[in-house]
Copies of this chain bind each other. A is one copy, B any other.
């Protein structure tokens, strides 16, 4: 029996916001499964802001997507055929098999997930790359100390919402910046952030920051860049640390991203800015995942997911990231489990 594999390929590199010309749906026969391989049926795919960067043909920390190839990205799937001793039908696995319905994987390409411990989708979110991004960026670069004040931009997103909760565990005052009243309520009421600032409705974000951070800002976990970051930079304390995780406000810009230069501020405050990507910490993933799992089990961490349904909606879900629609981790559900 030949199965047909629906894929989404990068048809054209976008200029500015990706659109209908960026992506193309194609169908291909699924290859035969050889010894040592498994056939995976995709259950969930992750859509993440960093993928926008990979659509550009520029050198970065991960190589660019290739034209006319499947969009790569984190996924969860179920093994539906196995010629490997290490996997059996019904096993749930995660890996980078991207935007397609089926994938024939070598046995070292994917990692098994235990569905009895936590919902499998957490492995694309709080127990996966986004949780690890929050964990290492905050603790390794931000180094929050008890009693300090931390500001998080993109605070209601998958990474930001985890950063804020870890910062609360560490005993800091946590202020989140987000783009809707619903998000601000989520931060304050569900995640116990100390303050929230809606950057879309405020008249004066600097005054809001001053009110929310009466003792200044010691750590700024930056997911957005742009003018929000310009405002935060004016209120840093001495020895402030700024993990630069993302700059989503600028990913779809066609012109050069221009703003106040930061050098004088960094000198005056002896402040540190450091860009990072979670892959820098791959040798410590186990440590991070264990700690996150423990906090989750202890009820010290919580998370939200926004789950869109249907393979055909993946591109639109991806674009929602830039429309600021999601709270927490944004996923697309592609299929139900056959087994288990």
Binding site for B on A (CB under 8 A): 53, 59-61, 222, 225-226, 229, 238, 244-247, 250, 256-277, 280
Contacts and interface: CB of A to CB of B under 8 A. Distances in A.
Contacts of A266: 244, 273-275
A261 B250 contact: yes
A247 B263 contact: yes
A213 B267 CA distance: 26
A339 B264 CA distance: 43
A256 to B, nearest CB: 6
Contact of A275 (B61, B269, B275): B269
List of 5 A-B pairs having minimum Cβ-Cβ separation, nearest first: A266-B275, A267-B275, A225-B263, A272-B274, A247-B263
A261 to B, nearest CB: 5
B225 A261 contact: yes
A259 B261 contact: yes
Contacts of A275: 263, 265-272
Contact of A258 (B259, B268, B274, B280): B259
Given A61-B268, A263-B250, A258 B258 contact: yes
Nearest to A267: B275
Contacts of A250: 261, 263-264
A151 to B, nearest CB: 15
Nearest to A271: B275
Contacts of A264: 225, 247, 250, 257
B263 A229 contact: yes
Contacts of A53: 268
Contacts of A247: 261, 263-264, 267
A262 B260 contact: no
A247 B264 CA distance: 6
Contacts of A269: 61, 275
A277 B239 CA distance: 11
A332 to B, nearest CB: 25
A59 B238 CA distance: 11
A176 B263 CA distance: 19
B222 A244 contact: no
B61 A270 contact: yes
Given A222-B263, A245-B267, A265-B275, 13 more contacts: A53-B268, A61-B269, A244-B263, A247-B263, A250-B264, A258-B261, A259-B261, A267-B276, A270-B275, A270-B277, A272-B272, A272-B274, A273-B273
A18 to B, nearest CB: 17
A258 B256 CA distance: 12
Contacts of A246: 267
A138 to B, nearest CB: 15
A262 B267 CA distance: 15
Contacts of A265: 275
